[in-house]
Structure formats: C-alpha cells, structure tokens
Amino acid sequence: MKANKTIIIYVMLAVVASIITGTVISVALSETPMKNNHKTIYLTEKDNGSTVSVRKGDMLNLTLQDHGDGGYTWTITKIDEKILGQVEQFNWGNSGALGDFGKGTWIFSIENTGTTTLQLECKRSWTGGDTSEMISINIEVN
C-alpha cells in the first residue's frame, strides 16, 4: 500500500513538473520576437518626384495634407495593383479649425517585384478634374 502511494506521489510530481516546464517554455517563446525583415516606409509630399527602393513584403505608408477646402480630394490616378496592393485609406488629424481638414493616409503592401509609379491628384471631382496638386513617386521593388 505504501509503495502505491509513493508511485502516485511521484507520478503527480512528474505531471506538475511537466506542466510547469511547458508553461515556462510557452511564455519564453511568446516573448521571443519573430524576426521579420520587412519594414514600413513612410512617405509624404516631400517624396514627390523621388524614387523609393523597397522589398517584396514591405509596406508603404503615404500621408498627405487633406486640401478639402474648395472640395479638393486626393485620388489615386496611377498604380500597378500587381505590385502595390492598397490595404487601407483613412483621414485623421482634423483640428476643427477653419480650413484644417487634417491628413489622408494610404497604406500599401508590396506584392511583387518590379517598378511602378504611384500617382495621386488632388482635384475636384465635379468640375471635370480641376487639379490643384499632384504627387508622383517611383517605386522600385527588389
């Protein structure tokens, strides 16, 4: 009888030790950052006319001043969707002050290698395309 109790105690200790070991390993693995060589490239109107080199898997984040005054809005007029995939577009940063329409941000994923031009125009849609500003950025994907 005493031998059976001793075996049960050893089995229970082994189970508890296994659970603790598994928990410690799981926590250590979850805190280990995944190595990701992809990066996010941040672009603004200052990058107009430039060439940007990126890698497949990277992300592009383009932020432009929103010129909503007078009805102007940014529209993508040139993009190769095989190379650049639009992930999201949102407006933010409106202070509420008269004439401050905040900023617009477009996020793109780099889908394939090649070269392309990302072009946006700030225009009024109802006037047949009255353009106030244009942004054009050449993208080279390795």
Please determine, for residue 4, whether its predicted confidence score (pLDDT) is greater than 90.
no
For the chain, what are the domain ranges? 1-32, 40-141
pLDDT digits (tens, 9 = 90+) for 6-57: 767 665 655 555 666 555 555 555 554 555 678 999 999 999 999 999 999 9
Please give the average per-residue pLDDT across 110-138, as a whole number.
89
- C-beta separation of 99 from 80 below 8 A: no
Rounded to two decimals, the pTM is 0.70
Please give the average per-residue pLDDT across 124-141, as a whole number.
85
pLDDT at 131: 79
- C-beta separation of 68 from 123 below 8 A: no
- Nearest one of 75, 80, 105, 77 to 90, comparing CA atoms: 105
pLDDT digits (tens, 9 = 90+) for 76-98: 999 999 999 999 999 888 877 77
Region class of 91: left (phi > 0), else alpha (psi between -120 and 50), else beta: beta
pLDDT at 2: 64
pLDDT at 36: 64
pLDDT at 93: 85
Return the CATH architecture of domain 40-141: Sandwich (2.60)
Please determine, for residue 65, whether its predicted confidence score (pLDDT) is greater than 70.
yes
